[in-house]
């Protein structure tokens, strides 16, 4: 049957009949009806009155029916009322039509709306043009490609030069929204003419439009200070706007352009003065407005403290402020605290410390400590305030106070120990690890002045295994300090804690630290004293400042979500991974590059000074200097053994032991400075530490703060890539993924990279990535080169590393004796290579055993003229056999290697064997 039958009926009341059929219950009937409608349509009959009934039929799973309905829709979309309304004489109707058009989120239909939209963008009435501008953004959301192909983006750009301010504002808004999903194209091409248009529109458009325009202005880089000043002059009136979002956007523009103005000009000083009142006014708004304002003020205060230094009183907390406002105000109060206002600030803080909200009270107590550290003249007052607070005996106040007093001791050593007695009275009430650790540290540090220090510390020892790691580590160190200060009475105590730490603990950090102390104390108490009781660096006054480059970037984002979270936008806003980072403009002209403003030095809040580990245990420290010094030590130690493996051998220790890095560093730098000594004692250390060697594959400097170090291993017949990811940036990292380039052995990861939690700043994570060799093969040079790409939320990074061949040695690499003999003879001489391994004092059996552990099997052994001859075989994952003959003379083991295929595997084998034998050597010592 053909479709021609649909054309046959031509009775009266046809439309009515169709209508009934379209609403029929049976699907088949409905389909027939739609076909009839379309047939009628193709012969030019007007079936538009059936529009609602046909659209109803769209609700079906039947693909054919759906397509038919679309056919109908597409035909009538052209003459759809919306399109005709776009021609209406009344501009308000035209605008309404174009506004509604963008809300139809159906791809196919939107195509038919392009023509009417194009007309509306050029409409004579500004109200229509302004509405059409937003419609372009809507369409872009539905079908970006179409919007570009149709040239709507150019039309939008033309609208920036429109005569009507509202049209300009909406065009800017639409362009900014589109450019968010379009990070690379420079949609808003800002030039002085455009800027002038924008500034004119700024005065006359709605408050919302002003926000869009100001945000857009802030992306512009004026060519000189005169241009910057003239823009500032025209933006300044916006500071008096009733809408707080307008005010904050204006502040952003001004803060950014201030960079370009000469610091000594009158205008610069006036502008700074003008910035303060609007910021203060924001704080009289609703609490939600206050919160956002305070987060931004926090940035502004760090960048330009002079703006608000007179206004500290407005940051005093009010009784009925919501807690989130209180906490922010407190933070800013401390940033603004100075000698001039410290008395007032302290009085306030003391008041806050008696409030009811626990979080707030804690932060207030901490703030008192920060004041003491920041304003030296006030330290004494702060300490006495803290003592008063301890007298209240409110548990969490006391604990918080003790933690900050510890920091005060570190800043002003030997100044306030008179209060230790008071602190000790509260020993029993401490139940939080932070406070306990702080108290223990104080007792250990001042053990010589506390008569009953041993009793105090002993009391903590009873429940040693129930304590948190932090407390355990501090306690261990404190008791060692005590022992070094009062050796006669405390020998038993120190032995007790060392055995608790080394024998009964599962925590490698604790155990290993115990071992180190133990060895240190038993071998050289004098050195031990020098190391453990060495002078500690003072802690710095400014903590938790934002790092200057990040701060500058955040200043460019004032008023945005980034400024609320104090993170660059690409760190958390979805879909903006490729967004260009914004920078503060740099001053041009004769004054040269902008002189760096005196930024207070930033000290990461987690202590990374070597003293910390021995004394404070603030957390797992990650530190660069140690790595460097380790490198020297390690190279010495390994005698170039690993040089041949990597061109740039930076070696660090396994990250679970990262605490150890510090200790070793201390040991190296403090006592054993002679390289000759290092190798011996260092080996001992390594033995104790169960030391693994990781190579830095990807230094943090090359990967925006991500450091990857790693090694390969073979365990239970499987290959693994053991890596340690360290985040040395200030933002967290997520979305890790890894990929290998084609390589000689077809090695690929068996599972995707499993990093599920975000990697926080200063954190490390250890990953063992299972590998297999079923991937595509491509010969690399050198053969064991592997190119790796690692992606995270920030970028994609590439590095290459050398795979130790030993991980490809399979377990079934033992050749039958007969086969071995036959093959050995068949190998041509040119495939034979010889190496000498020097200074290896092992006998044949040991060597054979150790090599077997690495899947190099001894097939036969002979003794020829007092020399042991070992015949060995090994097989690579790709089926290549390698046969070897090892001749061992005391002091001169000679290794001859032959392989079965004419491949140049051999040059790589030499370092492998060398490496294995060296590895065995270390283990021998352990």
Partner 1 sequence: MIHSLFLVNSSGDIFLEKHWKSVVSRSVCDYFFEAQERASEPENVPPVIPTPHHYLISVLRHRIYFVAVIQSEVPPLFVIEFLHRVVDTFQDYFGLCTEAAIKDNVVVVYELLEEMLDNGFPLATESNILKELIKPPTILRTVVNTITGSTNVGEQLPTGQLSVVPWRRTGVKYTNNEAYFDVVEEIDAIIDKSGSTITAEIQGVIDACVKLTGMPDLTLSFMNPRLLDDVSFHPCVRFKRWEAERILSFIPPDGNFRLLSYHVSSQNLVAIPVYVKHNITFREGSSQGRFELTLGPKQTMGKAVESVLVSSQLPRGVLNANLNASQGTYTFDPVTKLLTWDVGKINPQKLPSLKGSMSLQAGASKPDENPTIIIQFKIQQMAISGLKVNRLDMYGEKYKPFKGIKYMTKAGKFQTGMQRPHVSCVKA
In the bound complex, what is the minimum distance in angstroms from residue 637's beta carbon to partner 1? 47
Identify which of residues 249 and 490 has a Cβ nearer to partner 1 in the complex. Answer: 249
In the bound complex, what is the minimum distance in angstroms from residue 282's beta carbon to partner 1? 9
Partnered with residue 833 across adjacent β-strands are 897
Sign of CA dihedral 115, 121, 126, 132: positive
Which pairs from 911-916 meet CB under 8 Å and 24+ separation?
911/644, 911/645, 912/804, 912/805, 912/806, 913/835, 913/837, 913/856, 913/884, 914/641, 914/644, 914/835, 914/837, 915/641, 915/642, 915/645, 915/804, 915/806, 916/806, 916/850, 916/851, 916/854, 916/856
In the bound complex, what is the minimum distance in angstroms from residue 249's beta carbon to partner 1? 7
Identify which of residues 135 and 882 has a Cβ nearer to partner 1 in the complex. Answer: 135
In the bound complex, what is the minimum distance in angstroms from residue 554's beta carbon to partner 1? 13
Q: What are phi and psi of 836, to 5 degrees?
A: -115, 135
By CB under 8 A, which span of 132-140, 407-415, 468-476, 865-873 interacts with partner 1?
132-140
98-117 footprint of partner 1 as x/- string (CB under 8 A):
-x--xx-x------------
Partnered with residue 772 across adjacent β-strands are 748
Number of residues that bind partner 1 (CB under 8 A): 81
**Interaction between residue 208 and partner 1 (CB under 8 A):** yes
Nearest alpha carbon to residue 163 among 207, 218, 123: 123
Contacts to partner 1 from residues 585-644, by CB under 8 A: none
Contacts to partner 1 from residues 281-320, by CB under 8 A: 281, 284, 286-289, 291-293, 310-311, 313-314, 316, 318-320
Beta strands 737-740 and 796-802, pairing class: unpaired
Are 635 and 668 in contact by the 8 Å Cβ rule? The answer is: no
By CB under 8 A, which span of 88-96, 257-265, 778-786, 868-876 interacts with partner 1?
88-96
Identify which of residues 245 and 919 has a Cβ nearer to partner 1 in the complex. Answer: 245
Contacts to partner 1 from residues 350-379, by CB under 8 A: 350-351, 354, 357
Which of 141, 227, 417, 541 is the binder for partner 1 (CB under 8 A)? 141
Identify which of residues 391 and 599 has a Cβ nearer to partner 1 in the complex. Answer: 391
By CB under 8 A, which span of 44-52, 120-128, 153-161, 599-607 interacts with partner 1?
120-128
**Could you please report the per-residue DSSP string of 203-225?**
HHS-HHHHHHHHHHHTT---SSH
Contacts to partner 1 from residues 742-801, by CB under 8 A: none
Evaluate the omega torsion of the peptide bond into residue 782 and state whether it is cis, within 30 degrees of 0: yes
Identify which of residues 237 and 776 has a Cβ nearer to partner 1 in the complex. Answer: 237
By CB under 8 A, which span of 127-135, 147-155, 297-305, 701-709 interacts with partner 1?
127-135
In the bound complex, what is the minimum distance in angstroms from residue 104's beta carbon to partner 1? 12
What is the CA 337 to chain-centroid distance, rounded?
A: 31
Query: What's the DSSP call for residue 759?
Result: B
Identify which of residues 181 and 459 has a Cβ nearer to partner 1 in the complex. Answer: 181
In the bound complex, what is the minimum distance in angstroms from residue 422's beta carbon to partner 1? 20
Contacts to partner 1 from residues 145-174, by CB under 8 A: 166, 170, 173
Partnered with residue 799 across adjacent β-strands are 788
In the bound complex, what is the minimum distance in angstroms from residue 214's beta carbon to partner 1? 10
What are the E-state strand segments in 148-205?
Answer: none
In the bound complex, what is the minimum distance in angstroms from residue 110's beta carbon to partner 1? 14
Identify which of residues 204 and 504 has a Cβ nearer to partner 1 in the complex. Answer: 204
Identify which of residues 96 and 688 has a Cβ nearer to partner 1 in the complex. Answer: 96
- In the three-class reduction of DSSP (H, G, I as helix; E, B as strand; rest coil), residue 849 is classed as helix
Whole-number Å distance between alpha carbons of 545 and 551: 9
Whole-number Å distance between alpha carbons of 849 and 852: 5
Which of 137, 254, 440, 769 is the binder for partner 1 (CB under 8 A)? 137
- In the three-class reduction of DSSP (H, G, I as helix; E, B as strand; rest coil), residue 163 is classed as coil
In the bound complex, what is the minimum distance in angstroms from residue 208's beta carbon to partner 1? 4
Find where tokens 């003072």 sit: 538
Contacts to partner 1 from residues 228-287, by CB under 8 A: 237, 240-245, 247-249, 277-278, 280-281, 284, 286-287
Identify which of residues 244 and 743 has a Cβ nearer to partner 1 in the complex. Answer: 244
Identify which of residues 151 and 287 has a Cβ nearer to partner 1 in the complex. Answer: 287
Whole-number Å distance between alpha carbons of 664 and 680: 14
Cβ neighbours for 362, distance < 8 A, ≥ 6 positions apart: 396, 397, 400
In the bound complex, what is the minimum distance in angstroms from residue 139's beta carbon to partner 1? 10
Q: For residue 688, what are its two tokens?
A: 């104790």
Contacts to partner 1 from residues 554-583, by CB under 8 A: 559-562, 564-565, 569, 572-576
Which pairs from 217-221 meet CB under 8 Å and 24+ separation?
217/253, 218/249, 218/252, 218/253, 218/256, 218/556, 219/188, 219/190, 219/582, 220/190, 220/195, 221/585
In the bound complex, what is the minimum distance in angstroms from residue 898's beta carbon to partner 1? 58
User: Alpha helix (H) ranges present in 672-731?
Assistant: 675-689
Identify which of residues 254 and 653 has a Cβ nearer to partner 1 in the complex. Answer: 254
Which of 3, 107, 189, 207 is the binder for partner 1 (CB under 8 A)? 207
Are 247 and 238 in contact by the 8 Å Cβ rule? The answer is: yes
Which of 204, 544, 648, 826 is the binder for partner 1 (CB under 8 A)? 204
Identify which of residues 177 and 432 has a Cβ nearer to partner 1 in the complex. Answer: 177
In the bound complex, what is the minimum distance in angstroms from residue 728's beta carbon to partner 1? 24
In the bound complex, what is the minimum distance in angstroms from residue 586's beta carbon to partner 1? 24
In the bound complex, what is the minimum distance in angstroms from residue 317's beta carbon to partner 1? 9
Which of 14, 32, 177, 636 is the binder for partner 1 (CB under 8 A)? 177
Whole-number Å distance between alpha carbons of 314 and 291: 14
Write the secondary structure of 47-70 as one string of H (helix), E (strand) and C (coil).
Answer: CHHHHHHHHHCCCCCCHHHHHHHH
Cβ neighbours for 746, distance < 8 A, ≥ 6 positions apart: 773, 774, 775, 776, 777, 878
Which of 55, 58, 93, 767 is the binder for partner 1 (CB under 8 A)? 93
Identify which of residues 17 and 177 has a Cβ nearer to partner 1 in the complex. Answer: 177
In the bound complex, what is the minimum distance in angstroms from residue 460's beta carbon to partner 1? 30
Are 159 and 126 in contact by the 8 Å Cβ rule? The answer is: no
The H or E element that residue 190 is part of is: none
In the bound complex, what is the minimum distance in angstroms from residue 578's beta carbon to partner 1? 13
In the bound complex, what is the minimum distance in angstroms from residue 141's beta carbon to partner 1? 7
**Interaction between residue 88 and partner 1 (CB under 8 A):** no
In the bound complex, what is the minimum distance in angstroms from residue 823's beta carbon to partner 1? 59
Whole-number Å distance between alpha carbons of 698 and 721: 14
Identify which of residues 46 and 207 has a Cβ nearer to partner 1 in the complex. Answer: 207
Which of 51, 324, 799, 918 is the binder for partner 1 (CB under 8 A)? 324
Are 912 and 806 in contact by the 8 Å Cβ rule? The answer is: yes
What is the CA 373 to chain-centroid distance, rounded?
A: 30
**Interaction between residue 127 and partner 1 (CB under 8 A):** yes
Contacts to partner 1 from residues 332-351, by CB under 8 A: 344, 347-348, 350-351
- In the three-class reduction of DSSP (H, G, I as helix; E, B as strand; rest coil), residue 913 is classed as helix
Contacts to partner 1 from residues 409-438, by CB under 8 A: none
Are 460 and 436 in contact by the 8 Å Cβ rule? The answer is: yes
Which of 48, 56, 62, 206 is the binder for partner 1 (CB under 8 A)? 206
Are 404 and 374 in contact by the 8 Å Cβ rule? The answer is: no
């Amino acid at each position: 049957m053909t479709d021609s039958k649909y054309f046959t009926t031509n009775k009266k009341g046809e439309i009515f009949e169709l209508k009934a059929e379209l609403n029929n219950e049976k699907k088949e009937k409905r389909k027939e009806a739609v076909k009839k409608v379309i047939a009628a349509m193709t012969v030019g009959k007007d079936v538009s009155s059936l529009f609602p009934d046909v659209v109803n039929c769209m609700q079906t799973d039947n693909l054919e029916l759906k397509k038919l309905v679309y056919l109908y829709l597409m035909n009538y979309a052209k003459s759809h009322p919306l399109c005709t309304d776009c021609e209406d004489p009344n501009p308000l109707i035209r605008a309404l039509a174009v506004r509604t058009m963008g809300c139809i989120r159906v791809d196919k239909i939107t195509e038919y709306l392009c023509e009417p939209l194009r007309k509306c963008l050029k409409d004579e009435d500004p109200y229509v043009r302004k509405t059409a501008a937003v419609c372009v953004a809507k369409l872009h959301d539905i079908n970006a490609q179409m919007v570009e192909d149709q040239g709507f983006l150019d039309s939008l750009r033309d609208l920036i030069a429109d005569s009507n301010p509202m049209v300009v504002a909406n065009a800017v808004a639409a362009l900014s929204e589109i450019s968010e999903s379009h990070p690379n194209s420079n949609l808003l091409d800002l030039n002085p003419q455009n800027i002038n248009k924008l500034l004119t529109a700024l005065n006359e458009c709605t408050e919302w439009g002003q926000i869009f325009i100001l945000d857009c202005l802030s992306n512009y880089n004026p060519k000189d200070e005169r241009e910057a000043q003239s823009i500032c002059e025209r933006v300044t009136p916006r500071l008096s706007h009733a809408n707080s979002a307008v005010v904050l956007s204006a502040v952003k523009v001004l803060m950014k352009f201030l960079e370009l103005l000469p610091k000594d000009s009158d205008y610069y000083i006036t502008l700074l003065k003008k910035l303060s009142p609007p910021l203060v006014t924001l704080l009289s708004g609703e609490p939600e407005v206050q919160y956002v304002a305070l987060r931004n003020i926090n940035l502004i205060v760090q960048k330009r403290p002079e703006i608000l230094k007179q206004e500290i009183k407005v940051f005093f907390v009010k009784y009925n402020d919501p807690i989130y406002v209180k906490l922010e105000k407190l933070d800013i109060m401390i940033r603004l605290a100075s000698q001039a206002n410290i008395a007032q600030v302290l009085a306030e803080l003391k008041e806050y410390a008696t409030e009811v909200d626990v979080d707030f009270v804690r932060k207030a107590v901490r703030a008192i400590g920060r004041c003491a550290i920041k304003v030296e003249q006030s330290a004494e007052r702060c300490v006495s305030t803290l003592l008063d607070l301890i007298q209240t005996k409110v548990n969490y106040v006391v604990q918080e106070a003790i933690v900050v007093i510890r920091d005060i001791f570190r800043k002003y050593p030997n100044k306030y120990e008179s209060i230790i007695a008071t602190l000790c009275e509260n020993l029993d009430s401490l139940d939080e690890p932070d406070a306990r650790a702080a108290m223990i540290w104080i007792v250990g540090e001042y053990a010589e002045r506390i008569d009953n220090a041993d009793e105090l510390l002993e009391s903590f020892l009873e429940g040693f295994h129930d304590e948190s790691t932090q407390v355990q580590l501090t306690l261990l160190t404190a008791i060692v300090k005590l022992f070094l200060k009062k050796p006669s009475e405390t020998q038993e105590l120190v032995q007790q804690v060392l055995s608790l730490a080394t024998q009964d603990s599962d925590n490698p950090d604790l155990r290993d630290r115990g071992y180190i102390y133990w060895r240190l104390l038993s071998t050289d108490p004098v050195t031990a004293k020098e190391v453990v009781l060495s002078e500690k660096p003072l802690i710095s006054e400014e903590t938790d400042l934002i790092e200057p480059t990040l701060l500058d970037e955040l200043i460019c984002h004032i008023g945005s979500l980034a400024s609320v979270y104090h993170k660059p936008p690409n760190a958390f806003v979805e879909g903006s991974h490729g967004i260009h980072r914004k920078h503060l403009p740099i001053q041009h002209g004769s004054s040269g590059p902008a002189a760096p403003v005196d930024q207070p030095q930033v000290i990461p809040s987690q202590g990374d000074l070597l003293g910390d580990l021995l004394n404070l245990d603030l957390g797992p420290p990650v530190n660069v200097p140690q790595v460097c010094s380790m490198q020297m030590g390690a190279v010495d130690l390994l005698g170039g053994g690993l040089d041949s493996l990597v061109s740039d051998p930076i070696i660090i220790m396994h990250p679970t032991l990262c605490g150890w890095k510090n200790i070793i560093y201390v040991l190296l730098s403090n006592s054993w400075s002679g390289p000759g000594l290092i190798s011996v004692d260092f080996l001992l250390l390594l033995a104790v530490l169960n030391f693994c060697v990781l190579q830095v594959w990807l230094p943090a400097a090359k990967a925006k703060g991500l450091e990857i170090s790693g090694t390969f291993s073979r365990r239970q017949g499987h290959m693994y890539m053991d890596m340690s990811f360290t985040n040395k940036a200030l933002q967290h990292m997520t979305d890790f993924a890894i990929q290998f380039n084609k390589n000689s052995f077809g090695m690929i990861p068996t599972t995707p990279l499993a990093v599920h939690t975000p990697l926080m700043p200063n954190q490390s994570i250890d990953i063992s990535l299972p590998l297999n060799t079923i991937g595509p093969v491509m010969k690399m040079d050198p053969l064991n080169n592997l190119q790796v790409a690692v992606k995270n939320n920030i970028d994609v990074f590439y590095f290459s590393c050398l795979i130790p061949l030993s991980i490809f040695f399979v377990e079934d690499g033992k050749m039958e004796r007969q086969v071995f003999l036959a093959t050995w003879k068949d190998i041509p001489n040119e495939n034979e290579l010889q190496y000498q391994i020097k200074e290896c004092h092992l006998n044949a059996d040991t060597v054979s055993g150790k090599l077997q552990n690495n899947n190099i099997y001894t097939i036969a052994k002979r003794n020829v003229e007092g020399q042991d001859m070992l015949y060995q075989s090994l097989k690579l994952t790709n089926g290549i056999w390698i046969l070897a003959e090892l001749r061992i003379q005391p002091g001169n083991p000679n290794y001859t290697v032959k392989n079965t295929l004419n491949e140049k595997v051999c040059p790589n084998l030499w370092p492998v064997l060398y490496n294995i034998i060296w590895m065995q050597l270390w283990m021998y010592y352990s």
